């Protein structure tokens, strides 16, 4: 891949890395901070959604059905499941047992753009574009069913009404702004077999089904009659709002390929800067998204402020910081940037302005800091060194 082309930096957590931020809530729902979609998987009231839909919520609820409980989350695969006592006996959807097929017709159900569009459930139709996700991640399908914020966690079903995937992510506007490439309708869904393993690990019952050999596909209208009763809107209550100057658009982690020997030295430097800019200036209001961005782009062992440390220790340190300061905003001073590249790596250094806030602790701070990162070159760039210090005001 040339430096003029771009790639997602490691799709190990593609669902969040390129996924929707939680759909902003209707202003009339003053205690609802965001919303998504979910669906029942058994007659005991258990409903599946995305982990990023319920991230940071003090409670979750479903309109007309009340509050959810017994929340279980798999952040790595961006899945969550919760229980509604009032959902017992409600219709539910089976998980597709057989493998999906390239080009297969599918339909997605959800509650996109809540507060802008109507409150009713929406359906979009399309096909399976690819049997794998970004960087050949086999947990995902690429689909052409158009998805919007609020669709997250909703079911994607086959023509007989079985779950084939969970609406999770899009390649969005930030990719276009970073790269100049206007992507269209590139969407991703977590495969049903990943959902199956998630539910099995929590001892939650579900049905698995395949259409009979002689079963005729349902029309979209008949399919909707079957699917819609099992789909619910998921409301997130009490999640903290981001800093005023934080980018409110869906979070992305699009990172360029940084390859030496394929283009000019200046292009290599620009790509290295883009990796660091994407890491520092990304929307940081979502702690898990920020942590996954670190996990995706850092090497297994990092020179971390002067000491060689495994990635697990770096992540633990970052996690503590994100917990201490749930709201964070950073902006690099462009004039401060310095880049040097040699021997298969680039060093990017400079100064960024920062602002942090913790509502629970009633604290906030702001200032400036110097940063320095070393990045190994290649189609999957990795940060191999991080250092820096807070500047005196």
Domain extents in the chain: 11-237, 241-390
Q: What is the DSSP letter of 225?
A: H
Pick the more confident residue, 257 or 238. 238
- The tokens for 55 are 């991230």
75 falls in which pLDDT band (50, 70, 90)?
confident
257 falls in which pLDDT band (50, 70, 90)?
very low
Q: Percent of the chain at pLDDT above 90?
A: 41
Q: 122: number of CA atoms within 13 Å, CB side?
A: 20
CA–CA separation, 232 and 223 (whole Å): 16
185 falls in which pLDDT band (50, 70, 90)?
confident
285 falls in which pLDDT band (50, 70, 90)?
low
User: What end-to-end distance do the CA atoms of the chain give, in Å?
Assistant: 43
* Kind and range of the H or E run holding 278: helix 265-281
CA–CA separation, 259 and 268 (whole Å): 7
Task: Name which CATH class applies to 241-390.
Answer: alpha beta
176 falls in which pLDDT band (50, 70, 90)?
low
pLDDT at 210 exceeding the cut of 50: yes
The yes/no answer on whether domain 11-237 falls in CATH 2.40.10.120 is: yes
Q: What is the dihedral of CA 235, 150, 156, 234, to 10 degrees?
A: 0
The position carrying tokens 């799709």 is 11
Q: At what angle do helices 265-281 and 287-297 cross, to 10 degrees?
A: 150
Q: pTM surpassing 0.85?
A: no
Strand partners, 62: 66
Closest to 255 measured CA to CA, from 148, 376, 74: 376
pLDDT at 14 exceeding the cut of 80: no
Average pLDDT (29-41) is 81
Q: Give the pLDDT confidence of 295-353 residue by residue, as tens digits.
A: 888 988 888 988 888 998 998 898 888 888 888 889 999 888 888 887 778 889 999 99
Beta strands 345-358 and 363-376: pairing type? antiparallel
293 falls in which pLDDT band (50, 70, 90)?
confident
* 36 and 219 Cβ atoms separated by less than 8 Å: no
* 340 and 350 Cβ atoms separated by less than 8 Å: no
* 136 and 116 Cβ atoms separated by less than 8 Å: no
Neighbours of 156 (CB within 10 A): 30
pLDDT at 50 exceeding the cut of 90: yes
**One fold for 11-237 and 241-390:** no
């Amino acid at each position: 891949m040339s430096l003029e082309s771009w790639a997602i930096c490691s799709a190990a957590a593609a669902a969040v890395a390129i996924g929707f931020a939680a759909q902003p809530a209707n202003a009339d729902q003053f205690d609802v901070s965001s919303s998504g979609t979910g669906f029942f998987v058994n007659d005991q009231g258990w409903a599946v959604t995305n982990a990023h839909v319920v991230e940071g919520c003090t409670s979750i609820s479903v309109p007309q059905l009340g509050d959810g409980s017994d929340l279980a989350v798999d952040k790595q695969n961006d899945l969550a499941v919760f229980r509604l006592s009032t959902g017992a006996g409600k219709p539910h959807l089976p998980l597709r047992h057989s493998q999906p097929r390239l080009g297969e017709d599918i339909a997605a159900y959800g509650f996109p753009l809540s507060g802008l569009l109507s409150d009713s459930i929406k359906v979009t139709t399309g096909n399976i574009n690819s049997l794998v996700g970004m960087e050949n991640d086999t947990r995902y399908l690429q689909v052409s069913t158009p998805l919007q914020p609020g669709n997250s966690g909703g079911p994607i079903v086959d023509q007989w009404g079985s779950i084939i995937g969970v609406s999770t992510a899009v390649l969005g506007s930030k990719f276009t702004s970073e790269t100049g490439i206007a992507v269209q309708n590139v969407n991703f869904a977590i495969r049903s077999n990943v959902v199956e393993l998630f539910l099995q690990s929590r001892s939650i019952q579900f049905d698995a089904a395949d259409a009979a050999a002689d079963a005729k596909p349902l029309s979209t209208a008949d399919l909707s009659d079957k699917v819609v009763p099992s789909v619910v809107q998921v409301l997130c209550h009490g999640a903290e709002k981001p800093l005023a100057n934080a980018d409110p658009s869906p979070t992305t982690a699009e990172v360029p390929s940084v390859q030496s020997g394929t283009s000019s030295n200046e292009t290599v430097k620009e790509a290295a800067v883009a990796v660091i800019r994407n890491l520092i200036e990304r929307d940081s209001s979502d702690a898990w998204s920020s942590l996954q961005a670190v996990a995706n782009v850092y090497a297994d062992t990092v020179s971390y402020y002067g000491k060689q440390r495994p990635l697990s220790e770096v992540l633990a340190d970052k996690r503590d910081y994100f917990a201490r300061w749930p709201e964070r905003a950073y902006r690099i001073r462009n004039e401060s940037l310095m880049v040097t590249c040699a021997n298969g790596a680039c060093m990017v250094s400079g100064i960024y302005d920062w602002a942090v806030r913790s509502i629970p602790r009633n604290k906030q701070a702001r200032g400036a800091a110097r940063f320095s990162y070393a990045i190994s070159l290649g189609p999957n760039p990795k940060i191999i060194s991080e250092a820096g210090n807070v500047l005196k005001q």
